[in-house]
Amino acid sequence: MEIKNLKKAAQRLQKAVKDKERVILYGDADLDGITSALILQEALKNLGGQVAACYFPDREKEGYGITLAALEKLKPLSPALLVSMDLGIGNVEEVPLAHKAGFEVLIIDHHEVIKGLPKPALVVDPKQEGDTYPFKEFATCGLCFRLAELLLGSQMTDSVKKSLVELAGLGTIADMMPRKEDNILIVEEGYEALFESWRPGIRTFFDMQPFGKTESRSQLIDQMISVLNARDAKDGMPAAWRLLTVSSTEEARVMIEEFIEKNRVRKEKTRSIVEETRKRMVSKDPIIFEGDTFFEYELLGSASSILAREYDKPVFLYKDLGDMSLGSVRTPDGYNSVEAMKASDHLLHTYGGHPHASGFRIENSKRNQFRDNLREYFKNHERTS
């Protein structure tokens, strides 16, 4: 049993290396997307290949997924093989345009398939129809690790494997994927490798232990993930990418200090969004649905998580962009936000994600209708346990 299209994807990448095709790694800007891109970049380099560009779209400025703005920027590199990671499965409209612009698309994603598969593209997503592999809960970086194993074959030496599995472990933990079945090995081997890592960014973090000395390995990893999650892109490269690829200890130290300061400010701002939402929400409402022009989009995921846990209700927070709103959704166990949004498909510009963590984009004129539909939906749908 194999993950559908994984072997085909490996063969396609091997061909790209052999024919010296341009390869673009296009990942989501979170830790799962970033570790995915890094795994593939290192695997391709080990094969003697090259990557023409790595691209991480800015969710707030360009939106989530394969965006038209990105395609425009990447156009000078076409023709090329564009590998999308941790995103792409929802881009049924953008993939044909990418193809037209000269990009062959390979999608590696673990999100739910909502509108059918984007075409034409080679798709690896355990949640697609016809995928018979029993385990469905990989993070994208776990899929990329499996892909790297096929790609490298006998060239996967112990040291290469360690340097890739530490990334897969890190991304799997950060994406909060269940630690069961195939993920157990990825996380366990990843843990081991992390504490023996050659990467200056990782080593420096463990040497510094900037949150106080601790013996607890899992605590250290969690702290490192919080630092890597800092929103601090430079020249389009996210904080985590920069820290995981930095070559000197000195630079790593400076980055870590900067990221911790950024996180502190971020936490304060998140708290103020949570407090503002608490003031506005109506206690008997089955959902929390609030937003504002001053809500920073990048903070909405954590603010929603805090509120969902506290009130045990589905939470939809959005940033009002003037004509559109960009939202982040978190639900407690037993609620499926993707299904709920599917029922309002006709109102939404885009939406997607996981049952418990998802996002949407909507025109402001339709926002109230969407909210009312969600209230109805959650009133009428029994919570599953």
Q: Least CB distance from residue 32 to Mn ion, whole Å?
A: 3
Q: Which stretch binds Mn ion (CB under 5 A): 28-36, 91-99, 119-127, 325-333?
A: 28-36
Q: Report the distance separating Cα 151 and Cα 157, nearest Å.
A: 12
- Name which position in 32, 42, 104, 109 contacts Mn ion (CB under 5 A): 32
Q: Least CB distance from residue 247 to Mn ion, whole Å?
A: 27
Q: Report the distance separating Cα 280 and Cα 31, nearest Å.
A: 32
Q: Least CB distance from residue 86 to Mn ion, whole Å?
A: 4
Q: Least CB distance from residue 109 to Mn ion, whole Å?
A: 8
Is 92 strand, coil or helix? coil
Q: Least CB distance from residue 72 to Mn ion, whole Å?
A: 25
Q: Are 278 and 303 in contact (CB under 8 A)?
A: no
Question: In terms of CB distance, is 32 or 131 closer to Mn ion?
Answer: 32
Rounded to 5°, angle at Cα 300 from 296 and 301: 145
Q: Least CB distance from residue 132 to Mn ion, whole Å?
A: 22
Q: Which stretch binds Mn ion (CB under 5 A): 24-32, 123-131, 230-238, 300-308?
A: 24-32
Q: Which stretch binds Mn ion (CB under 5 A): 84-92, 290-298, 336-344, 371-379?
A: 84-92
Q: Does 86 bind Mn ion (CB under 5 A)?
A: yes
Enumerate long-range contacts of 187-195, CB under 8 Å, 24 or more apart: 189/162, 189/165, 190/165, 190/166, 191/217, 191/221, 192/162, 193/162, 193/163, 193/165, 193/166, 193/169, 194/166, 194/169, 194/170, 194/221
Question: In terms of CB distance, is 32 or 232 closer to Mn ion?
Answer: 32
Question: In terms of CB distance, is 140 or 304 closer to Mn ion?
Answer: 140
Q: Which stretch binds Mn ion (CB under 5 A): 31-39, 57-65, 347-355, 368-376?
A: 31-39
Question: In terms of CB distance, is 17 or 31 closer to Mn ion?
Answer: 31
Q: Which stretch binds Mn ion (CB under 5 A): 2-10, 170-178, 181-189, 253-261?
A: 170-178
Subset of 98-157 contacting Mn ion (CB under 5 A): 140
Q: Report the distance separating Cα 191 and Cα 31, nearest Å.
A: 16
Q: Least CB distance from residue 140 to Mn ion, whole Å?
A: 5
Question: In terms of CB distance, is 167 or 288 closer to Mn ion?
Answer: 167
Q: What is the DSSP letter of 384?
A: P
For the residues of 233-300, what is the DSSP string, one character each? Answer: -BTTB-HHHHHHH---HHHHHHHHHHHHHHHHHHHHHHHHHHHHHHHH--TT-SSEEEEETTS-HHHH
Residues that bind Mn ion (rule: CB under 5 A) add up to a total of: 4
CB contact set of 129 (below 8 Å; sequence gap of 6+): 113
Handedness of CA 105, 86, 339, 179 (dihedral sign): positive
Question: In terms of CB distance, is 141 or 273 closer to Mn ion?
Answer: 141
Is 131 strand, coil or helix? coil
- Name which position in 104, 131, 175, 189 contacts Mn ion (CB under 5 A): 175
Q: Are 374 and 335 in contact (CB under 8 A)?
A: no
Question: In terms of CB distance, is 204 or 304 closer to Mn ion?
Answer: 304
Q: Report the distance separating Cα 132 and Cα 268, nearest Å.
A: 45
Residues that bind Mn ion (CB under 5 A): 32, 86, 140, 175
